[in-house]
Structure 1
Amino acid sequence: MSSKSDRDTLIDMGFPPDKVDRALKAVKNAGLQPAMDWLFSHPGDSDEPEGGATLGEKPIGEEISETSSSLKNTEEGEIRAEDQTAQSLVCEDCQKLFRDASTAERHAIKSGHVNFSESTTVIKPLTEEEKAAKKEELKRVLAEKREMRLMQEKEEEKSREKIRRKTGQELSEVKAKLEEKEMQKALIAKKKEKEEERLAKAKIKAQIEADKKERAAKREAAKQATLQHQQEIAIAEAAAAANVSKEYSEARLQIRQPSGSPITHTFQSTDTLQVVYDHVSQHVSEPFNLMTTFPRKMFGDSEMEKTLKELDLVPSAVLVVSLP
């Protein structure tokens, strides 16, 4: 199939270029079929085929007015060569006839033939059979053009479909990549959230353990203080219950330090508090004071020379080392 224009198609079918131009102009370039219909409905003397005809065959073309002399010669059946005039041009290379120089020139351009001469052969108009054949040729050409157009449209549709598919695939890939990135971000955020939650739980657990230890230490300290207080009460009650008239020569003292184990020592009831202070000084390296726990009393310099008996520390008592 070719891609010729309507004008080239009609000229190749044997219609003269001038007549083809008039036909296309008359139908306002409406297409091949309207132009063909116009050509068949407007025969004239100026119409001649472009493609020409082979010598010895019936020429293809439209009606040509014959002169009265040629009609007479035809009726008589013979025409002398010397009385005939040139009615057409013949291609010596392929023996095709042409109405005028323009059609011969067009043939020369297409075929490359250059040998032309004048001919007395008259190109006769188309017969009904030839017109029918041209119409069939036109239908064939139109069908070929339609087929070509349909094929072109199919190819274009295939091309557009490929582009759509490719575009859709690219969009799908872009969407998939975006979704993957969003998923990665979500996973990172979730992982971070879990880590923060783990750290928060660990912090709360550590705080709970610290609170437990603190409460246990407070309970133990309270227990020790209670036990100590009970011991002091027992000692005081025992001292109160003792016979005041009984004479004791010794005093057993328990002296508690700020740190470390208590100092327990037996003194003479006639020893002064200074003796006790000197004994405690061997264990405590910094200045201190002595005091009782029950009843609570702080000893000063005025009591240092008094005996333990005079200070009611006989037969036993509990003293506390107090740092200033």
Structure 2
Amino acid sequence: MRDILKTPMNGYGEKALAITNNKGVEPAMEWLLAHADDPEVDVAQVVDSSAESSSAPVAGSSSDPAQAKSFKCDECGKLFKDQDEMEYHAAKTNHSSFSESTEEKKPLTEEEKRAQLALLEERMKQKRKEREEREKAEALERERLRIKSGKDLQDAKLRLQEQEMKKLVEQRRRDKIEDQKARERVKAQIEADRQARKLAVTGEKPPTPAPAPPPINSNPTPKISYDQARIQLRLPDGRTLSQTFGAKEQLAAVRLYLQMNATEFSQEGSFKLMTTFPKKIFTEDDFEKPLELLDSSTRGVAGTYVEQTEKIIVLPGLAILAPPSVYALCLGTGGRALFTALFED
């Protein structure tokens, strides 16, 4: 086989075929790919050992004609001269059904060997070309990353320089402002000293600075409109009655509430209602008026009395209030407890 190989590539092919016991192009190519960087292997020794191993079964076959000489794949019918070839075929094709065969695998002819070597060389060239292209692409990618990292580093340096320059300009601006303020303070102090010396010579008193005008509130408080009145009744015995009425309800509703909750005032005409400040005794016409109208007529601080036979009942609050606020204030006047209410504008 070595006699037909003339080129260096053929020498590597011969080595691969010899080491793989001439199992075919695929095992030889895989061996070459796996041992591309290994030191030289003695091809003659490998070929001789392969020849001895292949001749041993032949001698035994003369004495035992029924001895198995190969292995056969039951799925594809291919013959293998030893178990290594069979296992390689099983791993490559996932075939799992094999049997022993008395048929001997014929050795490759010179033409078959040349064809396998040519195919091996072609595939090796293709693999080498793919590897070179891959290495070239990897080299280009590394160069691109190197250039990109260098550009990123340069951009970062430029950004840092710009930031430092902005900080320097801002610091100079602040220093300039501080210097200007310091000069103004010095000028003001010099002017104040000059005026003080002038006043000391003339004996005049320094002018008193005019007080600053109070700030004007540009947002006046909006007018609040209430739709309820919280009213509290003070009975002669000291008890109190409180109830919330609508702003549109009439004063008669307050009178009715008093009559329903205090039996001693169930009879009409047995009591009167009045305010304390300004003093106002409500008439029958007033009972037909709504509470909000009575509130506007008694604007300010007001109280309402209920009179009955030398007894006084105070009705504080005709104010229209928003719940839950109760604008009621208890005052002591002449031994009588009066209640007042603050009316909101």
- TM-score (ref. length: structure 1): 0.39
Greater relative CO, 1 or 2 (CA 8 Å, sep 6+): 1
> What TM-score, normalized by structure 2, do the two folds share?
0.37
